Amino acid sequence: MTTWTPDPTFYTSPKKAMDAPQEEIAYVAIVNPKDDGRPDAIGVMDVNPDSSSFGKVISRLELPHSGDELHHFGWNACSASLCPNMPHPHVERRYLLFGALRSSRIYIVDTQPDPLNPTIAKVIEAEELAEKTGYSRPHTVHCGPDAIYMNALGAPDGGGPGGVFMLDHDTFDVKGAWESDRGSQVLSYDFWWHLNHDTMITSEWGTPSMVENGVQPDLLLNSEYGHKLHVWDLRERKHLEELDMGSENQMALELRPAHDPRKTYGFVGVVTSLKDLSGSIWLWHRDNGKWAIKKVIEIPAEPADADQLPPLLQGFGAVPPVITDINLSLDDKFLYVSCWGTGEFKQYDVSDPFNPKETGSVHLGGIVRKAGHPSNGNLNGGPQMVEVSRDGRRIYVTNSLYVAWDEQFYPEGIRGWAAKINASPEGGMSLDEDFFVEFGDERPHQIRLQGGDSSSDSFCYPD
């Protein structure tokens, strides 16, 4: 839908976004892990601390089909619509697009006219996605200046390659695969860009057949999961080069580029190292006119008795951090790291991106620790998906990764929850004792905030 003036939640710069009003509601993807005919749902959470229903799911949109497994989702339009090279200032931040990793459907959900009661505007079936793009298992959504971008893990037969495709801003018609020359790229996971530098970065996980039934130990030990970043010419849609982190570093997942459009660096989280089960954060950057990559954070595994560990890990005698998500505050100052295996959530000052300094840590759940919340007893799962508010003061985390992987790492069965963490502008974090949302046998995944958040928007103008 178009308007006569730009949506007030489009911001010309990260600083303007940080100064915008605080979010009052949040949307969350809720997965039913059981094969019992119940569908997944989209929940609306009250995150207004002055509200009588603060910390509660106040409405739900049940999906029309079962077995979807909702995963990541994002807005149809955002601050990128203000970019001068291909402006679309009259679209609205109104629709949320949800990718379903099991069914390969895409749900377009309308948050207007009543944001508390969203409705389904359109469903794109797996067959249409496959016919128009050659892809399957839609994953990540980003609102670009010229279209809505999504990526997919692979092909309909469960193999590769995975890649990026585009949808029309207004009609949500699938426009086709994005790549004109994919070069050596096969594996897919996340993607993001440096818009002012005509550069896209993509990361690697595995093809659908490699991931959707859980971690495959033989593939892991043979270093067959992703360990590279790919650099692309955003305008020409051509693959330029690979940045290889080494085959012992398995599963390069979330990408968080600097929000300041003048900067050409970003962070990627690596799930585990075959050398010692540590997790790591790497920095991609420009070095003398060329792209380079460097490990800047390493988080070690924690020793554990075999009887404390799930069968997948008993032979290692340690619980790995399992870095599954990272996020970067809009001022590019703090990087947040989810260690889903140990249950630790870490904050780093990355004002100097080459020399991060740890400034905070909290624990929730964990394979061995099972750390509780002030309002609850022992928990399982751990901080997984993380969303940071625009002003950087509030952080929302959920505890489910991917149903098949949940069962391997937490075989007792995950009980779903979402928590809120308060962050200080000077560094440091604490759990919000008044915010803890329980989902029972359902599992919450990604959260998006009203008006945008620290991983929704990209900007073309500096502060």
Percentage of the chain lying above the pLDDT 90 cut: 94
Tell which wins on pLDDT, 287 or 3. Answer: 287
pLDDT band at 90 (very low <50, low <70, confident <90, very high): confident
Gap between the Cα atoms of 292 and 298, Å rounded: 18
Residue 155 in domain: yes
Whether residue 460 lies inside any domain: the answer is: no
In a domain, 458, yes or no: no
Q: How much is the pLDDT for 2?
A: 54
- C-alpha 373/C-alpha 384 separation (Å) is 15
- Using CB atoms within 10 Å of the CB of residue 157, give its burial: 0 to 12 exposed, 13 to 18 middle, 19+ buried: exposed
**Residues 201-222 pLDDT 10s:** 999 999 999 999 999 999 999 9
Q: Is the pLDDT of residue 199 over 70?
A: yes
Percentage of the chain modeled with pLDDT above 70? 99
Confidence band of 377 (pLDDT split at 50, 70, 90): confident
- CB burial readout 253-277, b (16+ within 10 A) else e: bbbbbbbbbebbbbbbbbbbbbeeb
Q: Is residue 274 part of a domain?
A: yes
204 falls within a domain: yes
CATH number, domain containing residue 200? 2.130.10.10
What's residue 85's pLDDT?
A: 79
In a domain, 462, yes or no: no
* 117 three-state secondary structure: coil
Question: Which pLDDT tens digit goes with each residue over 153-171?
Answer: 999 999 999 999 999 988 9
Residue 88 pLDDT > 90: no
How does residue 6 score in pLDDT terms, banded at 50, 70 and 90?
confident
Query: Which amino acid does the sequence have at 204?
Result: E
The pLDDT tens digits of the residues spanning 384-428 come to 999 999 999 999 999 999 999 999 999 999 999 999 999 999 999
Answer whether residue 1 shows pLDDT above 60. no
Query: Predicted confidence band at 438 (pLDDT cuts at 50, 70, 90)?
Result: very high
Closest-CA residue to 246 (of 212, 278, 216): 278
Higher pLDDT, 84 or 143: 143
CB 285 within 8 A of CB 291: yes
- Model confidence at 86, in pLDDT bands (50, 70, 90)? confident
Residue range 247-256: average pLDDT?
A: 98
pLDDT reported for residue 4: 66
Q: What is the mean pLDDT of residues 31-40?
A: 96
423 lies in some domain: yes
What are the angstrom distances between the C-alpha of 84 and each of 11, 170, 234, 286, 336? 13, 19, 15, 24, 31
* Number of helices (H), then strands (E), in the chain: 5, 30
pTM for this predicted structure:
0.97
Q: How many domains does the chain have?
A: 1
Q: Is the dihedral of CA 399, 401, 404, 408 positive or negative?
A: negative
Domain of residue 99 covers 14-449
Residue 415 counted as domain residue: yes
